Structure 1
Amino acid sequence: MAAGLEPLTLLSALAAVTSRIGLIGTATTTYNEPYHIARKFASLDQISRGRSGWNLVTSDNASESANFGRPQHVSHSQRYARAREFYEVVTGLWDSWEEGAFINDKAGGRWFDRSKLHALNHHGEHFDVAGPLNVARSPQGRPVIVQAGGSETGRELAAETAEVVFTAHANLSSAQAFYRDLKGRLAKFGRHQDSLKIMPGIFSIIGKTQAEAEDKFNTLQDLVEPEAGLALLGRMIGNFDLSSYPLDGPLPELPLTDNGQQSRQKLLTEIAQGENLSIRQLYLRIAGGRGHLTVVGTAETVADHIQEWFEQGGADGFNVMAPWLPGGLRDFTELVVPELQRRGIFRTQYEGKTLREHLRLPKP
């Protein structure tokens, strides 16, 4: 458990002191209602003038159910069935108003053009929502939809609905297979290849020399408390209690999780088996990068990995995961970004104002 701020409140504050960066917040479909989510992100988009994005997730933390009066966590299949309909309701609410609907004609006594209003009147298995949304249409059409599901069900949902996918892969071959699979699913939903951006996470510890980077990495690894590392691994591998197993023994055979992340369970199990890691070695392996691509080295080394994945069909971009803040992010922006710019694979200035323009995504 870590203390933090509620993301929509934080992003609204950041919107007031920034002008270009995108503002993407995570909000679960498992313990929220569609109207609330639609209204919050539509409001953030108005405040930021078109820079908001919603990271649509289903809750993988089983303990979360206790905060919402539920005796047990929702199963994997139920979470995704609810998420699909949740998405349909939220985007339907975002389409309540056409552009230019609010004319504010004081002399004529007309606030809006009624022909440009569309009530939702949704009636489904999980939700009944009348609409319309009481926020005007987004400056960018709709907030950008981001997802992170890697299971079969999650990939189908992403191929149908997502515009950005945040994914975890420890090596290029795994990333390429995922990239081909997800992009290959788009056609059956009538979508173009460029309508979905795949952005794996990269966890980089950067030094001006290889030795400096390794010293930073070892310092961070020494700070991982065994109890915290074991708890993190247990949650991420499917909400299992691993405390009865010896830390220096192998990862036990675990059943397929029904209330956690199935894709992350598969990834971590493959890492443990492929590298012959003990439980202790595995939690140390993922304590920072959470199973994502981890690079320890100079700016050139990090840039080499990014360029290879980008040019070899493993990524459209990356989600930079700083090892600590603000120093880890500063290392990336001051050392890696200039190297990428020298190679001509990272922009030197913003080309637009909205998040969709930054990501080169079409406006709905």
Structure 2
Amino acid sequence: MTSPRQMHLNLFIQGIGHHEAAWRHPATDPYNMLDIGYYQRLAQQAERAKLDSVFIADALAINPNIEFGPFNNFFEPFTMLAAVAAVTERIGVIGTASTTYGEPYEVARKVASLDLVSKGRAGWNIVTSANQDAAFNFGRETHLEHTKRYERADEFLEAVTALWDSWEPDALIADRNAGRFVDRSKIHAVNHHSPQFSVRGPIDIPRSMQGQPVRVQAGSSEEGREFAAKFAEAIYTAQNNLADAQEFYSDVKTRMQQYGRQPHQVAILPGLAPIVGRTKDEAIDRQRELNEHIIPEYSLHQLSQSWNTDLFQYDLDGPVPPLPPRETLNGGKSRAEVFAALAEREQLTIRQLIDRIAFARGHGTFAGTPTEIADHMEMWFTSGACDGFNLLMPLLPDDFTTFIDLVLPELQRRGLFRTDYSGTTLRSHLGLDEPINRFGN
């Protein structure tokens, strides 16, 4: 008998919360962002709740709005996740690395190291980098054009996955009597050659118990969808409208077929910022109270950069100006379009748009009782919009604790989420098979 389908849930850890003014709220401590113990405790809490994974994002340049609040964690993600893996046993650990500002061998080695450290629980969030200022930190005069970033990413992934296969599973033998540490015939040069990369290999790290780290992707543009269909095993996507989420879900899973892939080989996880109240009014009041801490300049910087438009020249209580032509944008195109679609659909002023994106930067936000939030999640899950959710808690750790205490038991009561792990690797949590090694078994 086939087991009922269950949600995948990931905790996206961003500092002390995803609300842009979380650092100003009296329930948080901004200096927790510099304490590795804080991140370890969050991951342990997520593991006790049996979540699939925790995720740490990254940015390769300081954000222009940092005067008014943090955007990312201060730690480099793979350094942080190694520390997290050391104090957890089952939960997946996923970190961001850029294909635009990295090299295949270096990234393959870094992610494979985390996979061994965690005993097969690692994932790589693959980004092409939306922050255009990153170019100046890597000796470049300009940020690579959007389409070319994805062309580079495609070649990058071909090289990285070949490197991850360069050790067959039984290459490490450590035969003391024969004096043979490895079976050298089972370690292979990959000899990858493409227009942008030449990588001989092999990598210097054995294959992990899950075969390869899980490939996670976070772009929803046309190029991002095609890339996801070819490579992604999990997708973080910003969707705040059910119909749009259903279209994205169907489109990506249909595109996978041209690459010989099946729909179950990717988990699509739209972001969700749940605002939990014991009554609906309590949840709405909390939403309003959190937004009282907003500094408008923070989002004005973010939106201006995203749209390549100086919003500081517009009236906060006036209409949102139209999105510039798509071809003029060279950052995160899909996120820019999410902001624009939200503003147009709800006829928002600039101030109202700022309030709407303060919790989750264009991801879904839902305020309600535990039952209402579970209803919302179930509707998306059962109506072809997602395979689970990337949880963006407004304040950490408080909102995560509330979600675990009040919402998670309701999902479990409905049979929509696990009560215990059935495996030990991130692949097992996500229902993914171990990739076949291209050089042998």
1:126 alignment counterpart: 196
Q: Given the alignment, which residue of 358, 374, 385 partners 1:314?
A: 385
**Alignment map for 1:268-307 (pairs within 5 Å):** 268-307=339-378
Is 1:328 matched with 2:396? no
Which runs of no fewer than 5 residues in structure 1 stay unpaired? none
Is 1:228 matched with 2:228? no
Deviations 1:292-351 (A, max 9, x none): 111011111110011001111111111011111101111111111101001111111001
Rounded Cα–Cα distance in structure 2 between residues aligned with 1:87 and 1:255: 30
Letter in 1 for 2:122: S
SS at match of 2:133: helix
The offset of 1:280, in angstroms, is: 1.7
The offset of 1:239, in angstroms, is: 4.3
Letter in 2 for 1:357: S
**Alignment map for 1:339-358 (pairs within 5 Å):** 339-358=410-429
1:210 alignment counterpart: 280
Deviations 1:260-301 (A, max 9, x none): 122112221111111111122112211112111110111111
Deviations 1:81-139 (A, max 9, x none): 11111111111110110101011112212111122111111111111111110010021
Higher relative contact order (CA 8 A, sep 6+): 2
> Quick check: 1:230–1:280 contact (8 Å CA) kept in 2?
no
The offset of 1:175, in angstroms, is: 0.7
> Quick check: 1:94–1:138 contact (8 Å CA) kept in 2?
no
Deviations 1:22-46 (A, max 9, x none): 0000111111111111111101110
Rounded Cα–Cα distance in structure 2 between residues aligned with 1:347 and 1:304: 17
Rounded Cα–Cα distance in structure 2 between residues aligned with 1:28 and 1:248: 37
Letter in 1 for 2:366: V
Letter in 2 for 1:98: E
2:236 alignment counterpart: 166
Q: TM-score, normalised by structure 1?
A: 0.97
Is 1:241 matched with 2:307? no
SS at match of 1:111: strand
SS at match of 1:80: helix
Rounded Cα–Cα distance in structure 1 between residues aligned with 2:242 and 2:416: 18
Query: Comparing 215-224 with 351-360, which one deviates more in the overlay?
Result: 215-224
1:143 alignment counterpart: 213
Rounded Cα–Cα distance in structure 1 between residues aligned with 2:109 and 2:339: 36
1:9 alignment counterpart: 79
**Alignment map for 1:43-54 (pairs within 5 Å):** 43-54=113-124
1:110 alignment counterpart: 180
> Quick check: 2:191–2:201 contact (8 Å CA) kept in 1?
yes
Query: Comparing 80-89 with 246-255, which one deviates more in the overlay?
Result: 246-255
> Quick check: 2:275–2:368 contact (8 Å CA) kept in 1?
yes
2:157 alignment counterpart: 87
Is 1:260 matched with 2:331? yes
The offset of 1:259, in angstroms, is: 1.4
Is 1:36 matched with 2:106? yes
> Quick check: 1:203–1:322 contact (8 Å CA) kept in 2?
yes
Rounded Cα–Cα distance in structure 2 between residues aligned with 1:95 and 1:17: 28
Is 1:155 matched with 2:225? yes
SS at match of 2:257: helix
Deviations 1:185-221 (A, max 9, x none): 1111000111111111111111112222122211211
The offset of 1:258, in angstroms, is: 3.3
Letter in 1 for 2:400: L
Query: Comparing 70-79 with 307-316, which one deviates more in the overlay?
Result: 70-79
> Quick check: 1:122–1:128 contact (8 Å CA) kept in 2?
yes
Rounded Cα–Cα distance in structure 1 between residues aligned with 2:299 and 2:263: 38
Rounded Cα–Cα distance in structure 2 between residues aligned with 1:147 and 1:5: 21
Q: Given the alignment, which residue of 380, 386, 408 partners 1:337?
A: 408
> Quick check: 2:308–2:329 contact (8 Å CA) kept in 1?
no
Is 1:25 matched with 2:95? yes
> Quick check: 1:75–1:258 contact (8 Å CA) kept in 2?
no
Judged with a 3 Å threshold, the aligned counterparts in structure 2 of structure 1 residues 64 and 241 are, in CA distance, closer, same or farther, namely farther
2:38 alignment counterpart: none
Q: Given the alignment, which residue of 132, 137, 141 partners 1:62?
A: 132
SS at match of 1:304: helix
> Quick check: 2:422–2:428 contact (8 Å CA) kept in 1?
yes
The offset of 1:246, in angstroms, is: 2.1
Letter in 1 for 2:106: H
> Quick check: 1:61–1:239 contact (8 Å CA) kept in 2?
no
Letter in 1 for 2:188: H
Query: Comparing 226-235 with 23-32, which one deviates more in the overlay?
Result: 226-235
SS at match of 1:318: strand
SS at match of 1:142: coil
Letter in 1 for 2:406: L
Letter in 2 for 1:301: E
Letter in 2 for 1:291: G
Judged with a 3 Å threshold, the aligned counterparts in structure 2 of structure 1 residues 37 and 238 are, in CA distance, closer, same or farther, namely farther
